[in-house]
Every structure is written in structure tokens, then in C-alpha cells.
Amino acid sequence: MTKHLLIGQTLSYSGNPFSSAWEEVSHHSSRGAVLIDGDTIAAVGEADDLRCAHPDVPVTDYGDALITAGFVDAHMHYPQTGIIASWGKQLIDWLNTYTFPEESRFHDLAYAEEVAGRTLDLALAHGTTTLTSFCTIHPESVDAFFGAATARGMAVVAGKTCMDRNAPDTLRDTAQSAYDDSKRLLEKWHGVGRNTYAITPRFSPTSTPEQLEALGALWAKHPDCLMQTHLSEQLPEIEWVKSLFPECRDYLDTYERFGLLGKGGLYGHAIHLTEREIARLSEVGASVVHCPTSNTFIGSGLFDLMGLAQSTIRIGLATDTGGGSNFSMLRTMATAYEIAQLRGVAVHPSQLMWLATEGSASALHMSGQIGHLGIGAKADITVIDLASTPVITQRSARANDIWDALFPTIMMGDDRAIRDVWVAGRAV
Ligand code: GUN
Ligand code: ZN
């Protein structure tokens, strides 16, 4: 196996800085090192110690740059890459005006492959080593995405988006075809290489009860798969769900009734939750995914990060591109910080970095495998330049600890701050 030693500042975690004191579970070294053995992290420690112990191993010295786990984006839509930053609409109009016409193109395998490759390369350029993506209703879009991720050695989560109502003719499947296609695709891709399949009803307004029931039955037969969908993103959406499912207690109940509430469930947005919904998500240990740049861009609302972090709900962080307006998890952390400020709390940089790596990995039930700078994790690593632009450089120059040095990059950084990315032990 090929070994390689990366030297620089290092940041790693031994626990959750929302439930423990961040000072105790965040570990920084100003001259640290990471030993890669093949595709895995074999050691994290002080540079001098690891160099002495492994004198013949090739070294890349990143100087003052910060070596962290690669970012994990826990919710996005690769077919929307081409329409990112489209002007002037809120959720339902935005879907009908921009999203559905673009998604209709993904029956074309060549187009899907081109966009999948472009999206994964953009993610890597922004320091993101894992994407969790919705595809379109077309099985070709799923093959294209898993194929492109496999070619790059990336761990990804994805699934065929299922919709059998309230969508254009070109974007509707049926309860039966959604079941059959999803089953065939999960048998083809789930657990193959670094691929994880997520059964993917888009959201309850675009699925009939029959389709939700069919997908719930499929999940019951394949409980090791994840399940991803959207939940309580915008108030008009919630009213629409009420009118479509008058018998349900709330939005979450439209999933729960059909077997689509469970520990492996990933519920995107989850902004306007009722007490019952929070209690049920906590009880089952489900994951919600915070998509801050999307929530401000589409005008959805202010996610209660600090409130939900007190529960047993797992919380991931995500770009939600193209509803989200940026590929950068730095920009995503910045907006999470700003939304929390609007709710009256300041999220610490150690908590933001944890969310973008360990938190998202935990939401995907992949703790210790990805998003983790520690022994045994896959060597998916991002190296961050803490002085990537003149304005960041002049601010971080006054910093007297790592958090004060890192925070300007979280708030003002973008792909220019990404010095290097390693995927499964290989430099990209
Ligand atoms: N709800 C249902 N579909 C979508 C989508 O594509 N993006 C966002 N942000 N919300 C959704
Ligand atoms: Zn989404």
C-alpha cells in the first residue's frame, strides 16, 4: 500500500461540539500531520512524531494551511446544477418555472453524464468529497451519477426521484414504476463501491398515497438503504400538504403513515416543525438536513439549529443546490451562522466545521467512515488556505487562535480557499 504524510495545521473531533463543550471535543494542532495508508487514514498526530516514526514516507507539507476531513454535503440536486441562481421565485413557482423543465432533460443519458461529472468536479473544487443527491425520475440520471462518482472514487448517496402527480407529464412515473425502477437501481448500486442508495420520494405533494405506500414497502424490504425527501420547507407548501392529505396530523405524518419515517430517513429543510414532529423525529433518531443558502435564497425561513441540536435528531448540513445558491460548504456554514444570528445565537466555528463534516456524516449514518479526520476513516481530506484572498489575509493576520484565523475563511471563503483535496487517499 502507498503511504503519504500530509503536514500542516490539523483539525479533528472526538465528539459532538453541540452536546459537549466544543473546547473538549475539537482538536487543533498548529503543526500536525495525517498519515494516509492506501485509501485510509492510518494516523493523525504531531508532524515531528509521525515524521520520525515514518521516515521513508513521501511528505506533502502544506505549511499553515488547515487539513480537515473533506466536506460532506447531505442534500443536493445534481440535475439542478445548470439552473443554480435563477431569479425571483419561491418554492412552488421555482420548481415549476426553472426546475421541472431542466429535470425533464435527464432522460438523455449523455446529458445526465455530462452534468453529473460537472457537478462532482465543482463539488471537489469546493472541497466537498461526498454528495447526497436527488436524481430525476429517469433511471438514466441515477446510472449517470453513480457512474461518475465511481470514476472519481467518491462516496455518494443518491436515488431516483419519484413523482406521480403535480408534475409535468415528462416528469411523472407511477406507483408501480417508481417501485420497480427504484428496486432495480438499488439492487444495482447500493453498497457497490462507495455508493449508497436512498429511496427518494421528492416530497408528499408530488406523490400519491399509493406511491408513498409502495416506496414505504420497498424501504421495509431494504432497510439498509437510506430514504431522502423534503419536509416543512415553506408555509404555502405546508398548507398544500394539508389540503392533499386532510387525514394526516401534520406534514411528517404524510411520510409516517406510509412507512417513510425511520432512522435512515433524511428530511431536508425541516424548518416549520410542530412539537409532535420534533418529538417523533427524535424518537426514531431520524436525520434532518439544514440547507441554509437555499432557505434564504428561496425565502423559506429560519431553521432552528440550536433548538434541534438539543434533541436526539441528527443534523446534517447541505447546499441544496440548485435551490441553494452556492456549491461552497464554507458559504453554507456562513449562512448557517447568519440564520442562527437572526434567531439570537452565535454558532461557534468549531460547531460549523463539525456540522459540515462529522455532523453530515452522522446524518448519513457514516460516522467514522467519512467526514472524519481519524484512524480508520477513508482518506477524504480537504486542505484549506486560511489566507486565500486579500480581505481574508488581512483579517486572519490578526488572529490569535485557530478559530479566529478560520472564521474569516468560513464567512468570506469560496473555492479559492481550497488548496487541495484528497479522495480515498488520492490527490485530486
Ligand atoms: N421540495 C421539493 N423539491 C424540491 C427541490 O428540488 N428543491 C427544494 N429546495 N425543495 C424542494
Ligand atoms: Zn432539496
pLDDT digits (tens, 9 = 90+) for 141-151: 999 999 999 99
Q: How many A from CA of 230 to the centre of ligand 2? A: 6
User: Pairing state of beta strands 59-69 and 3-13?
Assistant: parallel
Contact 46, 5 (CB under 8 A): no
Q: Of the candidates 45, 118, 53, 70, which has an alpha carbon nearest to the alpha carbon of residue 330?
A: 70
**pLDDT at site 400:** 93
Question: Which ligand has its closest atom nearest to the C-alpha of 132?
Answer: 2
CATH of domain 71-363: 3.20.20.140
pLDDT value of residue 428: 95
Which pLDDT score, from 0 to 100, does residue 426 have? Answer: 98
In DSSP notation, 157-216 reads EEE-EE--SSS-GGG---HHHHHHHHHHHHHHHTTSTTEEEEEEE--GGGS-HHHHHHHH
**Helix, strand or coil for residue 327?**
coil
Residue type, 99: T
Instruction: Measure the CA–CA gap between 406 and 134, rounded to whole angstroms.
Output: 31
Question: What is the structure's pLDDT at 3?
Answer: 98
Give phi and psi for 221, each to the nearest 5.
-80, -20
**Distance of alpha carbon 159 from alpha carbon 421, whole angstroms:** 25
Side chain identity, residue 55? P
Partner residues linked to 134 by β-bridges:
77, 159
Q: At what angle do helices 329-342 and 402-412 cross, to 10 degrees?
A: 100
Q: Give the bridge partners for 159, in sequence order.
A: 134
Atom index in ligand 1 nearest the CA of residue 323 equals 9
Distance 197 CA to ligand 2 centre (A): 16
- 99 C-alpha to center of ligand 1: Å? 9
Nearest CA to ligand 1 atom 7: 323
Amino acid at 125: A
Q: Ligand 1 site: residues with CB under 6 angstroms? A: 77, 91, 95, 99, 202-203, 230, 233, 294, 298, 320, 323
Dihedral sign (CA 249, 250, 252, 258): positive
Ligand 1 pocket: which of 94, 233, 237, 240 to mutate (most atoms within 8 A of CB) = 233
Ligand 1 centroid vs 354 CA: distance in angstroms?
25
Atom of ligand 1 nearest to the CA of 298: 9
Give the pLDDT confidence score for residue 262 in this predicted structure.
Answer: 98
CA dihedral for 319, 322, 328, 332, sign (positive or negative): negative
- Across the chain, which has 428 residues, the per-10-residue mean pLDDT values are 95 98 98 98 98 98 98 99 98 98 98 98 98 98 98 98 97 98 98 98 98 98 98 98 98 98 98 98 98 98 97 98 98 98 98 98 98 98 98 97 98 98 98
- Enumerate the domain spans of the chain: 3-70+371-427, 71-363
- Classify the phi-psi angles of 70: left when phi > 0, otherwise alpha if psi is within -120 to 50, otherwise beta: beta
pLDDT for 373 equals 98
Tens digits of residue pLDDT in 333-346: 999 999 999 999 99
Query: Which is the closest atom of ligand 1 to the Cα of 294?
Result: 9
Q: Write down the pLDDT at residue 382.
A: 99
Q: Rounded CA gap, 121 and 257, in Å?
A: 39
**Coil, helix or strand at residue 98:** helix
How is residue 111 written as a grid cell?
446529458
> How many Å lie between the centroid of ligand 1 and the Cα of residue 168?
15
pLDDT at 244: 98
The alpha carbon of 76 and the centre of ligand 2 are apart by a number of angstroms equal to 6
Q: 165 — phi, psi (to 5°)?
A: -160, 165
The pLDDT assigned to 81 comes to 98
3-state secondary structure of 33: strand
The rounded distance, in Å, linking the Cα atoms of 70 and 68 is: 6
- Among residues 413, 387, 414, the alpha carbon closest in space to that of 399 is found at 387
Supply the DSSP string of 49-90, one letter for each residue. HHHHH-TTS-EEEEEEEEEEEPEEEEEEEGGGGGGSS--S--
pLDDT attached to residue 379: 98
How does DSSP assign 107-171, residue by residue?
A: GSHHHHHHHHHHHHHHHHHTTEEEEEEE--S-HHHHHHHHHHHHHHT-EEEEE-EE--SSS-GGG
What CATH code is assigned to 3-70+371-427? 2.30.40.10
